[in-house]
Amino acid sequence: MKLVGTERVKRGMAEMQKGGVIMDVINAEQAKIAEAAGAVAVMALERVPSDIRAAGGVARMADPRIMEEVMNAVTIPVMAKARIGHIVEARVLEAMGVDYIDESEVLTPADEEYHLLKSDYTVPFVCGCRDLGEAARRIGEGASMLRTKGEPGTGNIVEAVRHIRKVNAQVRRVVGMNTDELMTEAKNLGAPFELLLEIKKLGRLPVVNFAAGGVATPADAALMMELGADGVFVGSGIFKSENPEKFARAIVAATTNYRDYKLIAEISKELGTPMKGIEISALDAKDRMQERGW
Amino acid sequence: MLKIGVLALQGAVREHIRQIEELGCRAISVKSAEDLKELNGLVLPGGESTTMRKLLDRYELLEPIRALAAGGVPMFGTCAGLILLATEIVGYDTPHLGVMDVVVERNSFGRQVDSFEVEMSISGVGEDIPAVFIRAPHIVAAGENVEVLAKHEERIVLARDGQFLGCSFHPELTEDLRIMKYFIEMVREHTNVLVH
């Protein structure tokens, strides 16, 4: 019997993206540049995170016309963002045939208490996380892929580093624990017990975990790979840089060959000015997107 | 011990490595031409074919892999890997490696929401083999020497052209080792011919 939307089909899609770069784009032209540079997928948006940050107000799902335009422009998968807990935005994106939905803290949450029950959908979801508890809760709801939250639209890698280190340290801790210690760990993390059992058995998270939120240079992308990310999301970094084409190619090359430092030096030459970064401590707590969701 | 390479530029690399090792062979991650030396077989994994092609060009792997193919080394492509192997891709002027005598069409079962899994019987391999199709391509036409091993909804999804094995779906996403085992037998036969 033919089955669609199974866990294996949804998680498998993310497995195919490993080692790759997923780029934020706002139109067909940018999507083509991303595809030509070797992106494994594009995230279709109305505004990149740094512009969302600058614009303020409520950020919602993009105009479906943008998704449609991007889907028609490229053959690589197209992702799109829905607000946390916004059942209808997610269903609309699914009905349009986007390949992956990001239930994203970059948009203004629609629900401050409940995330989407992602296992209910045929389309796979990616969700943000800052630690293993948050990661496990999202997987428990049916997320097929994770990404560290970082602090989107800042061009500052410090939060993404904090989050990937934390998740991976907590995974290592679970793997090293005795099975009789896992229920207490589940309680402490606020994580489903069965997932911790699975993590212990696999020796890793059961889904792919990308890095996101603050990647602004090829070296940043390589750093995230070095710290154990399965791939990288680049939001504002690429199309806010001086030479997006060159910049996009450089990010892809640095992600694939993250330990080839001579190559990273070579591709980092004369890339022009990267996006202007924001010091995290200069952000008010209310402006920190990573605090959205739980 | 047989040495089987897995093209490790992007995609489902670790899954293939796990299957190869479970079957008692040595798996080699291939990131440069240097890694192709002394391989008995090569797996081209699933991933994004457009991305992999860019990376094959950048790391100058296209010609070395073609040379390996010309030397008769067996190759197994799954999904994007099948697209890399094919001599013709519908809608594109030029192929990638262009070594396996098949015409493939990309994303021919639809977008991700149409991706599916199904159990299939495959001639010479076994019954009830789980097959996971993810934005999968299919073989539109096969050359006269190509052996069609499996079809789904009248479309060719697994075929062998001498030393090349091409598959629309992802055996590496399952615990079932039978298709990899079939490939390793191809590698063993080829290696034995060389020894004797």
Q: What's A274's DSSP letter?
A: P
Q: Which of A8, A74, A86 lies closest to A44, judged by CA?
A: A74
More confident residue, B31 or B77: B77
pLDDT value at A276 more than 80: no
Interface test with chain B among A8, A16, A262, by most B beta carbons within 10 Å: A16
Instruction: Return the active site residues of B.
Output: 79, 170, 172
From chain B, pick out residues whose CB is under 8 angstroms from the CB of A123: 112-113
Nearest residue on chain B to A253, alpha-carbon basis: B55
B47·A5 Cβ contact <8 A? no
Host domain of residue B101: 3-195
Structure tokens at B192: 């034995």
Q: pLDDT tens digits, residue range A208-240?
A: 999 999 999 999 999 999 999 999 999 888 888
User: pLDDT class for A291, splitting at 50, 70, 90?
Assistant: confident
Q: How open is the CA angle B112-B113-B117, to the nearest 5 degrees?
A: 80
What's residue B26's pLDDT? 97
Collect all residues of chain B within an 8 Å Cβ-Cβ radius of residue A9. 115-117, 132-134
What rounded mean pLDDT belongs to chain A?
94
Task: Tell me which residue of B78, B178, B80 sits closest to B121, measured CA to CA.
Answer: B178
- Take residue A268 and report the two structure tokens written for it: 């980092």
pLDDT digits (tens, 9 = 90+) for A61-98: 999 999 999 999 999 999 999 999 999 999 999 999 99
User: Which helix (H) or strand (E) covers residue A21, if one does?
Assistant: strand A21-25
Instruction: Please count the other Cβ atoms lying within 10 Å of the Cβ belonging to residue A272.
Output: 10
Flag whether residue B121 sits within 8 Å of chain A, measured between CB atoms.
no
Q: Is residue B56 less than 8 Å (CB to CB) from chain A?
A: no
Taking CB atoms and an 8 Å cutoff, what residues of chain A touch B80?
16
| CA nearest to A11, candidates A138, A142, A128 | A142
- What domain count does chain B have? 1
Identity of residue A15: E
Is residue A56 classed exposed, middle or buried when 0-12, 13-18 and 19+ CB atoms within 10 A define those classes? exposed
pLDDT tens profile B10-65? 999 999 999 999 999 999 999 999 999 999 999 999 999 988 998 899 889 999 99
Concatenated DSSP letters of B76-138: EEETHHHHHHEEEETT-SS-SS--EEEEEETTTT-SGGG-EEEEEEETTTEEEEEEEESS--E
Asked if B9 has any chain A CB less than 8 Å from its own CB, the reply is: yes
pLDDT at A4 over 90: yes
Q: What percent of chain B has pLDDT over 70?
A: 99
pLDDT band at B193 (very low <50, low <70, confident <90, very high): confident
Give me the residue from B14, B79, B107 closest to A75, CB to CB: B107
pTM of the model: 0.95
**Shortest CA gap B196–chain A (Å):** 39
Determine contact, residues A40/A82, Cβ cutoff 8 Å: no
Q: CA nearest B26: which of B170, B184, B171, B176?
A: B184
Asked if residues A78 and A106 have their Cβ atoms less than 8 Å apart, the reply is no
- β-pairing, B138-142 vs B100-105, is antiparallel
CATH of the domain at B50: 3.40.50.880
- Residue A16 to residue B116, Cβ atoms within 8 A: no
Q: What is the pLDDT of residue B196?
A: 63
Contact with chain A for residue B145, Cβ under 8 A: no
pLDDT score for A284: 84
